Amino acid sequence: MSVDKITFQPIGFLFTPFKENKDVPRQPKFAKGVPGKLVIQPEFVPGLKDLEGFSHVYLIFHFNRSEGYQLTLTPFNETEKHGVFATRAPYRPNPLGLSIVRLVSIENDTLYLENVDILDGTPILDIKPYIHEMENQDETKSGWFQKYLDQKGDYQLN
């Protein structure tokens, strides 16, 4: 099987307080209360029907300011290199991001969000509802990251 190219179009654009990559929290956990506003393109607004009943949504987005990729890299706060697929770094062969954010409300074409850890102006490719009962995994492993959890109990960014 061969696929030469896959093309996506944004369904909307996210507006956040973060103008520079250095200011973005590293994960939604560290973005408690940070607001965001997702404005959906007019042709996709009907797709929002019934989304307001969910407390959280996944945002699938394009790391549109990421340049190039690295197959091995040293993540933030880490001293060892890891494979890019074992990290959440933006420097990926396909620069796609995934974040779970709190859905506060929907007004017409706009989703009001909290716990946002994404740059201002980021193109959003898809939205999916988070369903705790379907997605929460009981037995998980955290790979190389487990050492931080073991050392500190609850990982905190320095």
Angle at 99 between CA 64 and CA 107, to 5 degrees: 90
Is 74 part of any domain? Answer: yes
Characterize 121-148 residue by residue with b for buried, 16 or more Cβ atoms within 10 angstroms of its Cβ, and e for exposed.
ebebbbbeebeeeeeeeeeeeeeebeee
Is 42 part of any domain? Answer: yes
Range of the structural domain that residue 129 is part of: 12-152
Model's pTM, two decimal places? 0.83
Look up the CATH number of the domain holding residue 118: 2.40.30.70
Residue 127 CA to residue 83 CA, distance in Å, equals 27
Domain count, the chain: 1
Q: What is the pLDDT of residues 77-133, one digit of tens each?
A: 778 899 999 888 888 899 999 999 999 999 999 999 999 988 999 999 999 999 988
Is 105 part of any domain? Answer: yes
Characterize 42-60 residue by residue with b for buried, 16 or more Cβ atoms within 10 angstroms of its Cβ, and e for exposed.
eebbeebeeeeeeebbebb
Is 1 part of any domain? Answer: no
Is 41 part of any domain? Answer: yes
Tokens of 24: 């973005």
Least confident of 7-11, 47-51, 69-73, 132-136: 132-136
